[in-house]
Amino acid sequence: MDFELSAEQAMLKDSVERFIQDNYAFSQWQALAGSDLGYSANNWKTFAEMGWLMLPFAEENGGLGGSVVDVAVVTEALGAGMTLEPLMSSVLLGGKLVEYLGDEIQKEAILGAVAEGTKTLALAYGEPAARFDLSFAETRARKSEAGYVLIGRKSVVLHAASADGLIVIARTAGEADDVAGISAFLVEPDAPGLRCQDYPLVDGGRASDVFLADTPAELLGEEGTALAALQRVIDEATCAVCAEAVGAMGWVLEVTKDYTATRNQFGKAIGDNQVIQHRLVDMFTAVEEAKAITDMTVMRVAEGAENASAQVSAMKAKVGEAARFVGAQGVQLHGGIGMTDEYPIGHYFKRLMALDVMFGDTAHHLNRFAETV
């Protein structure tokens, strides 16, 4: 048993932290969040050059063969900077699904470019009625002589607008809530019958609703086999999200400690009040719990533990709750300036809120974990 980072992991962490220091001052974040693209193409090149995009792919697919533990090291460090680049959507969701599901030709055609950052992907799995249930899909695929076409609507697809390719989950058989009959498809961004409604997210991210009207699509892998791979991809991505939340919470805790130590009211630092100290201790404890359960879960998932998926839900429930608490208290202890757009703390609150929702909120995962009780 060892919760310490290996020498390579420590180096990886350092390199991400240095990147954040150089490229993610809050003013830089603001400029990117407000830009058309929503992130920096230059930063994206750096992500590629540093090997962060290759990290999670197997060596035979042009990757570095990194584990979910390695990925968590990266996303935790990125979390402190509230980064906006599409690592999650293109690599951890889109790319990984291609790796788990695609045939050799598809992997060959796609993964190299994704790992080099020259092609970005978006994964359209959610639907308006599905909430966080991965097997619920009303979007359908119809097979004709010319191939498949898709009909339906996917919701809150991360970074769809800037993606060079979409992967869409659709049903090739069964009713909307059947577990069987789920397939994945590759869709070109300029495919006929494809319409995207693009919008910002509360945390500065970007997403779209994707409307498919007889949109031509290429089957990824084999028909009806996507659900297990999708669940695995989402479980692993949930590990990355929790690590990111831990990084963001750590930032909130540090900044709030600093602020309460320097802000004076009634002739002393507000942090001199014991009630503020206890609140900071509660925040600290929440971060410690979140960090520990995330590390433990990430290691279990990396080992391929049998009940890994339930463990992921336990982690997400705990981390989601912590994220909400730490984010909200960060704002509260800043008073008025916590409520402003021009000061970072409120944006971290919003990022943490979005991370709680992503891949299922606390309630969803607690319900899912409860099924194992």
Partner 1 sequence: MDLQFSDEDLAFRDEVRAFLKTNLPANLLDRSDRGLHPIKEDIEAWQKSLHKKGWIAPNWPVEYGGTGWSLTQKYIYNREYFLSGAPQTIAFGLNMVGPVIYTFGTEAQKNEYLGDILASNTWWCQGYSEPGSGSDLASLRTKAERDGDDYVINGQKIWTSFAQHADMMFCLVRTNTECKPQEGISFILIDMNTPGIEVRPIIGLDQDHTLNEVFFENVRVPAQNLIGEENKGWTYAKYLLGHERNIIARVARSQYQLARLKKIARLERRGTGLLIEDNDFRRRIAKVEVDLMALEAMELRYLSQDIAGKKLMAEPSVLKIRGAEIAQAIKTLTVEALGPYGMVYEAEDQLTMRNDGPLGPDYAHGAMADHLYQRAATIYGGTNEIQRNIIAKLILR
Question: How many chain residues bind partner 1 (CB under 8 A)?
Answer: 51
Residue 264 CB-density burial (10 A; 0-12 exposed, 13-18 middle, 19+ buried): exposed
CA distances from 136 to 205, 227, 304 (A): 25, 10, 25
Q: Quick check: 338 binds partner 1 (CB under 8 A)?
A: yes
Q: Does 84 bind partner 1 (CB under 8 A)?
A: no
CA distance 1 to 47: 31
Q: Rounded to the nearest whole angstrom, what is the least distance from the CB of residue 259 to ligand FAD in the complex?
A: 8
Which of 265/307 has CB closer to partner 1?
265
- Is residue 335 part of the contact set for partner 1 (CB under 8 A)? yes
Letters for 171-210 (x = contact with partner 1 by CB under 8 A, - = none) are -----xx-------------------x-xxxxx-x-x-x-
For CA atoms 321, 1, 250, 126, give the dihedral sign. Answer: negative
CB of 82 to ligand FAD, least distance (A): 22
| Least distance to ligand FAD, CB of residue 267, Å | 10
Residue choice 267, 336, 371, 373 for contact with ligand FAD (CB under 6 A): 336
Strands 206-220 and 147-158: antiparallel
Binds partner 1 by CB under 8 A, chosen from 129, 173, 281, 305: 129
Q: Are the C-beta atoms of 144 and 181 separated by less than 8 Å?
A: no
Tell me how far apart the alpha carbons of residues 140 and 295 are, in angstroms, rounded to a whole number. 38
Amino acid at 351: R
Instruction: Write phi, then psi, for 114 (nearest 5 degrees).
Output: -65, -45
Kindly state the tokens that stand for 186: 């590759």
Give residue 167's Cα distance to chain centre.
Answer: 16
Q: To the nearest whole angstrom, how small is the minimum distance from the Cβ of residue 341 to ligand FAD?
A: 12
276 binds ligand FAD (CB under 6 A): yes
- Lookup: tokens for 292: 């520990």
Closer Cβ to partner 1, 31 or 202, answer by number: 202
| 270 binds ligand FAD, rule: CB under 6 A | yes
**Cα–Cα dist 57/238, whole Å:** 17
Q: Which of 13, 232, 257, 263 binds ligand FAD (CB under 6 A)?
A: 263
List 136, 185, 251, 369, residue binding partner 1 (CB under 8 A): 136
What's the token pair of residue 173? Answer: 């058989």
Please, are residues 80 and 247 in contact by the beta-carbon 8 Å criterion?
yes
99: contact with partner 1 by CB under 8 A? no
Asked if 261 touches ligand FAD (CB under 6 A), the answer is no
What's the maximum distance between 2 C-alpha atoms anywhere in the chain? 79
In the chain the first and final C-alpha atoms are separated, in Å, by 26
Single-letter residue type at 144: S
Q: Rounded to whole angstroms, how far apart are CA atoms 313 and 294?
A: 11
Least distance in Å: CB of 246 to ligand FAD? 24
Q: Among the candidate windows 173-181, 218-226, 269-277, 354-362, which touches ligand FAD by CB under 6 A?
A: 269-277
Q: Which is nearer to ligand FAD, 13 or 263 (CB)?
A: 263
- Of the candidates 147, 164, 156, the residue with the CA atom closest to the CA atom of residue 98: 164
Note the residues at the interface with ligand FAD (CB under 6 A). 263, 265-266, 270, 273, 275-276, 332-333, 335-336, 339
Note the residues at the interface with partner 1 (CB under 8 A). 126, 128-133, 136, 155-156, 176-177, 197, 199-203, 205, 207, 209, 264-267, 270, 273, 275-276, 324, 328, 331-332, 335-336, 338-342, 346, 349-350, 353-354, 357-358, 361, 363, 366-367
